Amino acid sequence: MSDRFIQRMSRRTVLGAGLFLGTSWALKSCTAATAPSGTTQANSSSEPNAGGATGGQVVTASFPGTTENLFRDKLAPLFSQTGKGQLSVVPLLAFEQVARLKAAPDNPPFDVVFLDDGQTDIAMKAGLIQPFPADRSSGFSNVDSSFLGKQGLAPIFYMQGVVIGYNPERVKTPPKAWEALLDSNLDGRLGLVSMNSVLGTSFMVEMAKLKGGSESDIEPAFAALKQILSKVGGVAANPGALSTLFQQGEVDVAPMWHNDVLSLKAKGIPVEWVVPESGMIAARYSLNLVSKPKSGVDAAAAYVETALGKEAQSILSASPYYFVPSDKTVQLDAAITEKIGAKTSTEFIQKANVLDWATINQQRSTWIERFNKEVKV
C-alpha cells in the first residue's frame, strides 16, 4: 500500500462496508423466513398463502439508519396490531432494492419496497411493482393530491429536504448558499455522501444547476467537485454514515437531510442547519407492493395502509424522526416549521424544489460510477 493511499484513506473516512455486511445477513435471514410454501400468485389477494396473507410475515425494504429504526420500532408494532401479519425489515438503499428485484422478479426478496421518485419510475417501467388497491384505503383521503403515485401506485409516504448542516462551534460564519462549500476556510471539514444515495445525487444535480448545468448536464458539478475535493474530510456510503461522520466530529459541514440534522441536534450534537438561498431540494418516497409479493397482496397492502394511517403519519413527523408525512392534516414538528415556515406537507412541498428524476435516471448509473472513481468512495 502506497503512502499516498494511506494518506488518502486517513483523510477521507469511508463508512458503509460493515453496514452492507449486516444488510446481507439480514436479507438472508428474511429470505429464509419467507421461503415459499404454497406461495400465493400475484393479485390472488383473496387466497392467503401458507406464509400468511393474514397473520403471516411481510418483508419490507427500508433505507438504513433512521428509516430502518422507524420501521422496526414503530411501524412493525402498529402493523402487528392489525392482525394482518408481522413485519420484517431489510435495510437497503433504493437502487439496491430495485437491483435485487430485477435479479429475482418471480421470487422477490421483499413484499414491499421503499423507493424515491427516481427508482419508483425505474421499478414501474420494469414491471417490478403494482398498483395499490386504493379502494381499500382510508388513508388515501388525507393525502395531498400532488402526492398520489403514478399509474395508481401507492402515494408518497414521507418527504425530506436537502439542507446545509454545520457545526456552529467550528463554523463561525453560518453558510447561506451551496457556494459556501467552496470556502477555503472549510479545508478538510466538508462531508459528502455517495451518489448511490438520493441525497448525494440531489446535491450534485443542484450544484450543476447553480453552475449552469441541469438534470441532463451534471458536468459543471464534477468541475466544482474538483475544486472542493481537497477540502473533503469524509465521504460516506449513505446518509446514515454521513451523520456518523458528523457525530464523530470528522466533518463539520455537509449537504444533509433536514431530519438527520434535527435527530443529531436532539442527541446533543452541536449542529445547526440552513435552507440554501437557492431553495431546499425535496425528495419524496413511497412504499409500493412488488408485482408478486410472497405474503400476498392483502397482507402487503395492509402494511402500506398502516403506514398511511393517521397514527403512523403522526409518529414519523415528530421527534426523533422529523420526516414530512404525506397526510396533509398532520402538523409538522415545530422545529421544521420554525426553519422552513411550513406547517403541513402541502406547504412544505410548495417551498421546495423537486428534481426531474426521469431525466436524471438516464445517466445516473454513469454518474455514480464516475463519482466513485474520482472521489474514491
User: What are 85-122's pLDDT values in tens digits?
Assistant: 999 999 998 989 999 999 999 999 999 999 999 999 99
d(C-alpha 365, C-alpha 363), whole Å: 6
Counting Cα atoms < 13 Å in the Cβ hemisphere of 163 gives: 21
Q: Sort strands 324-325 and 85-91 into parallel, antiparallel or unpaired.
A: unpaired
CA 235 – CA 374 distance, rounded (Å): 12
CA distance 118 to 100: 16
Q: Is 220 exposed, middle or buried, given 0-12, 13-18 or 19+ CB atoms closer than 10 A?
A: middle
Identity of residue 283: A
Residue-wise pLDDT tens digits, 72-81: 999 999 999 9
Handedness of CA 331, 336, 341, 342 (dihedral sign): negative
CA distance readout (Å), 87 to 20, 127, 181: 21, 24, 41
Q: For the segment 58-67, what is each residue's pLDDT rounded down to a tens digit? A: 999 999 888 9
Predicted local confidence at residue 377, as pLDDT: 52
Distance CA 252, CA 240 (A): 15
Closest CA to 132 of 109, 159, 151, 106: 151
- Alpha-carbon distance of 109 to 31, in angstroms, equals 6
> What pLDDT shows up at residue 367?
96
pLDDT value, residue 188: 63
**71 Cβ neighbours under 8 A, 6+ residues apart:** 60, 62, 87, 89
**Predicted pLDDT at 43:** 32
In 3D, which of 59, 20, 23, 63 has the Cα closest to residue 283? 63
pLDDT at 287 over 50: yes
Q: Could you tell me the pLDDT band of residue 187, with boundaries at 50, 70 and 90?
A: low
Q: Measuring CA to CA, how many Å separate 128 from each of 39, 89, 120, 145? A: 18, 19, 9, 24
- Higher per-residue pLDDT: 13 or 302: 302
DSSP state at residue 319: T
**Shortest CA distance to 23 belongs to which of 68, 70, 86, 76?**
68
Return phi, psi of residue 59, to 5°. -100, 120
Joined together, the cell numbers standing for residue 97 give: 432494492
- 321 by Cβ neighbours in 10 Å (0-12 / 13-18 / 19+) ranks as buried
Phi-psi category of residue 110: left, alpha or beta, with phi > 0 → left and psi -120 to 50 → alpha:
beta
Tell me: pLDDT of 186 over 60: yes
Average pLDDT over residues 39-43: 29
pLDDT band at 260 (very low <50, low <70, confident <90, very high): very high
How much is the pLDDT for 141? 82
Grid coordinates of 224: 466544482
Q: Are 300 and 110 in contact (CB under 8 A)?
A: no
To the nearest whole percent, how much of the chain has pLDDT over 90? Answer: 68
228 confidence band (pLDDT: 50, 70, 90): confident
Q: Please name the residue ranges forming H helices in 109-164.
A: 117-125
Single-letter residue type at 346: T
The answer to whether the CB of 45 falls within 8 A of the CB of 296 is yes
Q: Taking the CB of residue 162, how many other CB atoms lie within 10 A of it?
A: 27
Mean pLDDT across the stretch 236-265? Answer: 93
